[in-house]
A = this chain, B = another copy of it.
Amino acid sequence: MATISSPLTPEAGKVVGEALQGALVDLIDLSLTAKQAHWNLIGHQFRSVHLQLDEVVSLARTHMDVMAERAIALGFNPDGRASTVASTSQLPHFDSGYIQDGKVVAGMTDILGGIVKRMRERVASTEQTDPVTQDLLIEATQDLEKQHWMWEAQR
């Protein structure tokens, strides 16, 4: 069966592949978590928070596709299956049931803060191994840090 050839050395490929797989899991789980809050939200700020959560979902879906397609373009198989996300994600999660708006604001700030921290490590690890990938990680980080600010600002 055919496989995709990579422009990277095996060593570089491994570092970059792990960075992309990590980002993929972060972003898929972010999209699911934001949707969970989008649906179960309660509180005076309902409408604002409800709409902003969908912006996060949209952002997460866009970048997850970029991460996974970048991985496969380098010959690294991305894994975005539910079980993989459930077992390897480092995101804290909301409890089931209603979620108060203030709790969502605090939770999203923390979740985004954690992802940003990991994304910056991925930006660092790909600087030498593949600047072409690094640029895509940087773009995702820009959007995530902007969202982090906007959630923290209304905390």
**Interface of chain A residues 113 through 155 with chain B (CB within 8 A):** 113, 116-117, 120, 123, 127, 131-132, 134-136, 138-139, 141-142, 145-146, 148-150, 152-155
Residue of B nearest to A29 (CB): B82
Whether A32 contacts B40 in the complex (CB less than 8 A), given A5-B113, A131-B138, comes out as no
Summarize A's interface: helix, strand, loop or mixed: helix
Verify A77–B96 contact, CB threshold 8 A: yes
Contact B138 A42 (CB under 8 A): no
Choice from B1, B39, B80 contacting A100 with Cβ under 8 Å: B1
Q: Are A153 and B41 in touch, CB under 8 angstroms? A: yes
How many copies the complex holds: the figure is 12
With a cutoff of 8 Å between Cβ atoms, the chain B residues found around residue A46 in the complex are 150, 153-154
CB closest residue in chain B, given A50: B150
CB distance from A105 to the nearest CB of B (A): 8
CB neighbours of A70 from chain B (8 A): 142, 146
| Chain B residue at minimal CB-CB distance from A73 | B149
For A41, the closest partner residue in chain B by CB is: B153
B82-A145 in contact (CB<8A): no
Contact B132 A81 (CB under 8 A): no
Shortest beta-carbon contacts, A-B, top 4:
A46-B154, A86-B86, A73-B149, A82-B86
> What would 12 A/B residue contacts be, using CB atoms closer than 8 Å?
A2-B42, A35-B68, A36-B78, A39-B77, A47-B52, A70-B142, A81-B96, A83-B86, A86-B86, A120-B132, A132-B142, A135-B142
